[in-house]
Amino acid sequence: MRSRLGRVTMRIVTPVVLAVAAIGVAASPASATPTGCNWNTDAWGGWAHCTGGTGQFRAVTYCQRVFPIASYFAYGTWEYPNHYSWSDCPLGTVSISTWIQYR
């Protein structure tokens, strides 16, 4: 059997928790993702291109130097759809793979 204080507390806490949860869902940002994206890697870096959607994207390339062994990430500029983002590896390294980062 619940005490009177327990029942009163639950009557106050439950609506507050539900209201906070509803605000959290309503305030979450809409997903802004580019669409129709392609990317590729060449010997010196990589590129990315998206044709639609909203938001921004950039090319990210994993670069590696053989001797002495070292790894780097090359980042392209943030772009909107219908533009290209290029990521160039540092001199003396080769590109291993490229992918797209979204925001």
pLDDT (0 to 100) of residue 22: 42
Give the three-class secondary structure for 75: strand
Please indicate, yes or no, whether residues 15 and 38 belong to a single structural domain of this protein.
no
How many Å apart are CA 40 and CA 17, to the nearest integer? Answer: 48
Task: Clarify whether residues 67 and 89 are in a common domain.
Answer: yes
Q: Please answer whether residues 5 and 74 qualify as being in contact, where contact means their C-beta atoms are separated by less than 8 angstroms.
A: no
The pLDDT, as a whole number, for residue 52 is: 97
Total domains in the chain come to 2
SS3 35: strand
Q: What strands lie across the sheet with 45-49, from one edge to the other? A: 38-42, 45-49, 84-88
- Verify cis geometry, omega within 30 degrees of 0, for the bond prior to 68: yes
Written as tens digits, the pLDDT of the chain (103 aa) is 555 544 444 454 444 444 444 444 444 455 689 999 999 999 999 999 999 999 999 999 999 998 899 999 999 999 999 999 999 999 999 999 999 999 9
- Do 56 and 96 lie in a common domain? yes
Q: Which domain holds residue 48?
A: 34-102
First to last CA, the chain: 52
Cβ pair 38, 85 in contact under 8 A: no
